[in-house]
Structure 1
């Protein structure tokens, strides 16, 4: 039973006024106000966290001070791409010294610095104020670098606390991972990096007939490729689109993006032999970064200060619980799930964890993992085992009254009291037993919520965050979870409370209530309240609009009276309290060919497709490279424009579930794009390599490979589109031109080997097209600018496009010709008019 029976009365207290606007726990709508004009103050918000027992008073004051400050800017270097670490070194050597030399008001400006909580200096933050950043050139140069490398996928601009949950999932290459609420996608990008690991190096080893499994870390049994998969999901199509944009730039084929309600995420069917029992996908790791009130984001989200109310957390608790429970159902036995929020509210955090573990059958089925030794430099606080629940009521347009409860029974008794005295006063219908702290009858049944992790703003200058790591020990059958409100069941609870407690007494200080099993797999769980009395009421003064202090009010229930012997004797015969329940929502039932306006079609090409075979033969791709993972995105399976490549498991899932109603909105990386040119008949393979997929294919190629060894040549190809490559053999492309002259028209791989002395700090492979009279790197303008900035420190390059210039010249010549023709026509018409006028003139006027 949640909450037990001890705890004082909610009581009646004076209302809070917000810091501005006079609205309780809210204030006026400030969405259109400049940030600087918004007061970061909310008395109800502050009082709950100050008086709720989360931190000691002195530490709370420090935390609250940080919460009202601007949040430092932060970013992360991606952890898998070979050039990401080299980019980090460029950043350190080129930009840090310039920023360090800046002084403002006679003091040096602190440069960006690595966040010590994370290894390998991959995470950095900068605390410099915006007014300083805007004034000095080194910051402007640094900003260009950030934008360019973010576009290229080497940097992810992400809040520090949001980087924490993926680290605690402990993902290894080869694992199957689900991100249930993935948008906007920064955590999904981290998970994708972990799934792929150091895949590039291992594939090269495999292609050279060396074993890719050099250390036994992860599953690279697919010729050095990771066998794992990430399914990133979000319920909203627009947010899922943001997610696709975020992960797409990382070019990972082991990724599927779906759009489903996480609380009823559908079971994904796996292919089985005909006649065999259906099998469904289970996950090694699941991230449930659930929707939350977001009060830990108050440093960057100004609306928190004006709009925070206790109803935010209460209203989300049940949804969060349903999402977490669905995740636990889909998790493999022995698998790990990380639950996280950017809220500090225990109703959205510890209460959800405890309820989910109970609904799963207790700690014998799901356990909280002690992660105190993981990320040892991350400063954190343990999870809470006790907390209070805040609610507000209002009648007759009066100011809101705040109530705090320590138990479900205290809430029921207070509510019953007001129903008699002030029946028009309404409490939240979202308060349920599950939002209160759990009390177990034995240490074996106790849920060790202290193993949860709380990150507060003052600990390492971040936002607020909550993380819990759960491990599944046994199977979980369909069970019941607590609904937010059920009038009939609440009435039963009230009746049971009244039958055990004399009306003239306070709530008993100790009582034991047993709850019936929720399912075959859910063991009975007993709870009792701790023996200690609640702390004496704390008092807080609030400010009116004029700044005058109001009378102090109490936010904590009054201590209960001593329990009498008659109520104690009633324990054994006491009626069981039936908590408000509802059957957990089952996974969505998929209907074949479920259509909507956002439907994407995925059709895999046969492994012997003639077009694909011709392309791979043209590039000399090894027979070991899989032929059955190429797909197109049209219902007819036609080779129209793009050919995509995916992993083996992604192919199995897409093929098996595409007609079951699964909403897939992204899968695969572009490998080939149709190339339309005038000399189409002379091209053996009119398909060009795409920058997205070229690294996947290149280790297996033996034809159409050229090598760039000179910085000058690379610079020329980057700064100039379609440089001339005449048929007579004269050119200005150095070693590249010589190699291209020996090749037929078509695309090729251009390798740039790592060579520090030559100025190449990391290897690259880029697609280059050999035209009849020119050559061109098939790299878009943003990527060109990023490489030019990264390798040549070109901050504002003027990229020459000969084809565009020629087209512009032709267009201009056509315009001039048209103007000339118009003038001649006008002159001709004028001459004709003059002639007509002469013919009509009387002789006397001549």
Structure 2
């Protein structure tokens, strides 16, 4: 009892990084392959890019016409992916400047071969001579040359000076939302959605959001093309959903760059997504089905092996089979959420027919003709693809059914077709209501006072991946099945399942969005006077999360309708809606308690008649480098600032010469004797890179009559502001 207790000692491993294992892995034939861009942790592991199980499964099922093509596909799958990106199509005039900068960079590295030979050692030169690479060029099948790719090895971006400029271009413009880094095949599904500005679109499995941003851009592009005078708001909206709460916040970050009020981020299981309701023109509460739905479902992801080398080791045949049931449920739910005449795109980054043709065939057969595959073979003719497989082991359909269902209309994009990853895409149209269609009825205004007289049968399963559909399974959601009743006036509500607040994936700590209360309306009314907001500003589209909320959000009308009708039931769990338009700030330096958020300044500026300060591009450069005192500014700017009270202002760039900043607007702060931008440090760093402004240490200004305090922040990374001393 009293003896000395024995303890086990652990010897700490030396903290040494082995570059031979962190930079390279083997491709199965003894050659080293660069994985510096691989997102997974390969620090102390050697990867073998070969799987006999993979080969034995795919070789005989006919995804390639012969052994020669199969080996060609494997060879491409062992190579790193090219660098690919999209240019934001809704930028307006800035888009032309981004294109100009891109073309200048390409011209700078036109002598790329000579630059590389001068910058590399003999061993590196030998490797480069064995590789084929090319500078950035447009992806041939993407519209209007808005998507680009380069196959230059990424390790060279660190060694060649001219390529470092290209790397900075990618980083800075991606941060500002001018471009989006995205794998080429990932761009395909949104293209076939054929989105219009009036569409309500649902992205069921959206995170991290590259496809979502593509959809948002399409909404705004179609609207802006009709009204190019200033910021145009589409009449439709995009709901981007993910089951994981953390990934939802990643969605918020990635979509916020676009500054759209027509975006809502939701947190639900895709297979149980609730059907939103709205009030129609007759005052009836009716289901809001979606015009377009993207179901990019969870999958084994073997089409991403070029960027995720761990897939080779982890791949097994049973993985696709275990996901098949969940994929069918998500596709089925999407069919219920889709309006008649609407279009759904089902996609995976897998080449396994169990996750692809098998799922589509099952959905089509159970829909009993209410869903059909759309022939899109004439669209984007430069995109190389092949039709769906007619047969494979345990194929659930016959050749006759293959022809009847037109499964040849689905698309397979294999890695060796155009130097991409692997993808599967199916475009479906809803031609009539499904058997046991959910939420078919509407609620009459007078029925709100009528007590419910119906019964609802709900069957709940314990796991979405454990219950297999039977022969008698209908296409209704397997977790919630609501039966029709004898009372025709009673609405058939959407998903009645109560969310488990303890489910970590579904969060549960977010406050819901609400219409503004009377107290906040008074404060917004003062902000209207302070900024000179016109009567045409959409005040009725403002939301907050509580009476004590420090943030005011602006949403589109279509999004507002869904939120208004969800005030009581709270079936839709919104992580974020629209865009932050106002932010409360602490302190009493300004008579107005609300400042304009940087992310929405481009939206609110056209409505403002006060507190707009016009500056030149050179002055913007000054603001990005320092916090100038008034006497350091041009006289024209001083005269604009003089009559303005302390508080938030808008800087608008008026430049005689064309520049990327011309027409841009920024939230700023007018202090007692100085002014500065209300822009995050991260955004300032990105803007410096875009405008090629050298980084220098910023020296704070001080005066004897003022004190320095922290002003309101965006992303908690704001500058300091001069505020006058007060008796308080």
Which bin holds the TM-score, normalised by the shorter protein? 0.7 to 0.9
Counterpart of 2:418 in structure 1 is 460
Question: What is the number of equivalent residue pairs in this alignment?
Answer: 619
Within a 5 Å distance, the mapping from 1:423-438 to structure 2 comes to 436-438=396-398
- Give the Cα–Cα distance (whole angstroms) in 1 for the partners of residues 500 and 64 of structure 2: 53
Secondary structure of 2:565 counterpart: helix
Shift of 1:485: 8.4
Matched, 1:739 2:631: no
Shift of 1:668: 2.2
- Give the Cα–Cα distance (whole angstroms) in 1 for the partners of residues 159 and 669 of structure 2: 43
2:564 pairs with one of 632, 652, 655: 655
1:126 pairs with one of 146, 150, 156: 150
Shift of 1:240: 1.6
Q: Which runs of 5+ in 1 are unaligned?
A: 1-17, 21-29, 208-223, 390-434, 490-514, 523-580, 812-846
Counterpart of 1:643 in structure 2 is 552
Does structure 1 retain, via aligned residues, the 8 Å contact 2:338–2:344?
A: yes
Shift of 1:338: 0.2
Does structure 2 retain, via aligned residues, the 8 Å contact 1:179–1:287?
A: yes
Matched, 1:40 2:49: yes
Counterpart of 1:217 in structure 2 is none
Within a 5 Å distance, the mapping from 1:152-167 to structure 2 comes to 152-167=176-191
1:796 pairs with one of 689, 695, 700: 695
Counterpart of 2:34 in structure 1 is none
Q: Which runs of 5+ in 2 are unaligned?
A: 1-26, 30-38, 118-124, 439-463, 483-493, 711-728
Secondary structure of 1:41 counterpart: coil
Secondary structure of 2:332 counterpart: helix
Matched, 1:627 2:536: no
Does structure 1 retain, via aligned residues, the 8 Å contact 2:523–2:593?
A: no
Secondary structure of 1:116 counterpart: coil
Does structure 2 retain, via aligned residues, the 8 Å contact 1:103–1:109?
A: no
- Give the Cα–Cα distance (whole angstroms) in 1 for the partners of residues 709 and 554 of structure 2: 39
- Give the Cα–Cα distance (whole angstroms) in 1 for the partners of residues 175 and 478 of structure 2: 46
Counterpart of 1:268 in structure 2 is 276
Shift of 1:652: 2.1
Counterpart of 1:69 in structure 2 is 79
Does structure 1 retain, via aligned residues, the 8 Å contact 2:62–2:389?
A: no
Counterpart of 2:579 in structure 1 is 669
1:313 pairs with one of 295, 320, 334: 320
Secondary structure of 2:202 counterpart: strand
1:103 pairs with one of 92, 116, 119: 116
- Give the Cα–Cα distance (whole angstroms) in 2 for the partners of residues 270 and 593 of structure 1: 25
Counterpart of 1:300 in structure 2 is 307
- Give the Cα–Cα distance (whole angstroms) in 1 for the partners of residues 45 and 135 of structure 2: 24
Secondary structure of 1:151 counterpart: helix
Deviations 1:271-311, CA, capped at 9 Å, x for gaps: 3699x664111000000000001111111111211111110
Say if 1:84 and 1:807 are closer, same or farther in 2 by CA, change over 3 A: farther
- Give the Cα–Cα distance (whole angstroms) in 1 for the partners of residues 465 and 78 of structure 2: 32
Secondary structure of 2:62 counterpart: coil
Deviations 1:61-85, CA, capped at 9 Å, x for gaps: 2111111111112221111122244
Counterpart of 1:551 in structure 2 is none
Deviations 1:789-813, CA, capped at 9 Å, x for gaps: 222x1253444443799999999xx
Matched, 1:177 2:86: no
Q: Over alpha carbons, which structure has the higher Rg?
A: 1
- Give the Cα–Cα distance (whole angstroms) in 1 for the partners of residues 146 and 156 of structure 2: 25
Counterpart of 1:542 in structure 2 is none
Shift of 1:440: 3.6
Say if 1:49 and 1:806 are closer, same or farther in 2 by CA, change over 3 A: farther
Say if 1:50 and 1:85 are closer, same or farther in 2 by CA, change over 3 A: farther
Say if 1:95 and 1:668 are closer, same or farther in 2 by CA, change over 3 A: same
Counterpart of 2:605 in structure 1 is 698
Say if 1:720 and 1:95 are closer, same or farther in 2 by CA, change over 3 A: farther
Counterpart of 2:629 in structure 1 is 724
Deviations 1:210-238, CA, capped at 9 Å, x for gaps: xxxxxxxxxxxxxx521111111111112
Shift of 1:760: 4.6
Say if 1:380 and 1:724 are closer, same or farther in 2 by CA, change over 3 A: same
- Give the Cα–Cα distance (whole angstroms) in 2 for the partners of residues 715 and 487 of structure 1: 62
Deviations 1:373-430, CA, capped at 9 Å, x for gaps: 21222111112222224xxxxxxxxxxxxxxxxxxxxxxxxxxxxxxxxxxxxxxxxx
Secondary structure of 1:181 counterpart: coil
Bigger mean CA offset, 176-185 vs 116-125? 116-125
Say if 1:161 and 1:624 are closer, same or farther in 2 by CA, change over 3 A: same
Counterpart of 2:291 in structure 1 is 284
Within a 5 Å distance, the mapping from 1:335-346 to structure 2 comes to 335-346=342-353
Does structure 2 retain, via aligned residues, the 8 Å contact 1:178–1:285?
A: yes
Secondary structure of 1:346 counterpart: coil
- Greater relative CO (CA pairs within 8 A, separation 6+): 1
Does structure 1 retain, via aligned residues, the 8 Å contact 2:581–2:596?
A: yes
Deviations 1:707-764, CA, capped at 9 Å, x for gaps: 22x332221122112x112xxxx44334322211232323222222465x35456421
Bigger mean CA offset, 279-288 vs 646-655? 646-655
Counterpart of 1:601 in structure 2 is 512
Within a 5 Å distance, the mapping from 1:146-545 to structure 2 comes to 146-197=170-221, 199=223, 205=229, 224-271=232-279, 278-362=285-369, 365-389=370-394, 436-440=396-400, 446-478=404-436
Deviations 1:91-125, CA, capped at 9 Å, x for gaps: 22146514744223397973222211212222122
Say if 1:592 and 1:484 are closer, same or farther in 2 by CA, change over 3 A: closer
Structure 2 length-normalised TM: 0.78
Say if 1:225 and 1:804 are closer, same or farther in 2 by CA, change over 3 A: farther
Matched, 1:764 2:650: no
- Give the Cα–Cα distance (whole angstroms) in 2 for the partners of residues 651 and 675 of structure 1: 26
- Give the Cα–Cα distance (whole angstroms) in 1 for the partners of residues 499 and 330 of structure 2: 25
Say if 1:583 and 1:253 are closer, same or farther in 2 by CA, change over 3 A: closer
Say if 1:234 and 1:658 are closer, same or farther in 2 by CA, change over 3 A: farther
- Give the Cα–Cα distance (whole angstroms) in 2 for the partners of residues 440 and 584 of structure 1: 33
Counterpart of 1:54 in structure 2 is 63
Deviations 1:235-271, CA, capped at 9 Å, x for gaps: 1112222222211222211111111111111121223
Does structure 1 retain, via aligned residues, the 8 Å contact 2:368–2:435?
A: no
Secondary structure of 1:328 counterpart: helix
Deviations 1:510-530, CA, capped at 9 Å, x for gaps: xxxxx8x866x99xxxxxxxx
- Give the Cα–Cα distance (whole angstroms) in 2 for the partners of residues 441 and 200 of structure 1: 44
Matched, 1:617 2:522: no
Does structure 1 retain, via aligned residues, the 8 Å contact 2:329–2:478?
A: no
- Give the Cα–Cα distance (whole angstroms) in 1 for the partners of residues 141 and 704 of structure 2: 51
- Give the Cα–Cα distance (whole angstroms) in 1 for the partners of residues 709 and 277 of structure 2: 57
Say if 1:761 and 1:98 are closer, same or farther in 2 by CA, change over 3 A: farther
- Give the Cα–Cα distance (whole angstroms) in 2 for the partners of residues 282 and 139 of structure 1: 48
- Give the Cα–Cα distance (whole angstroms) in 1 for the partners of residues 268 and 80 of structure 2: 35
Say if 1:653 and 1:804 are closer, same or farther in 2 by CA, change over 3 A: farther
Does structure 2 retain, via aligned residues, the 8 Å contact 1:90–1:790?
A: no
Secondary structure of 2:165 counterpart: helix
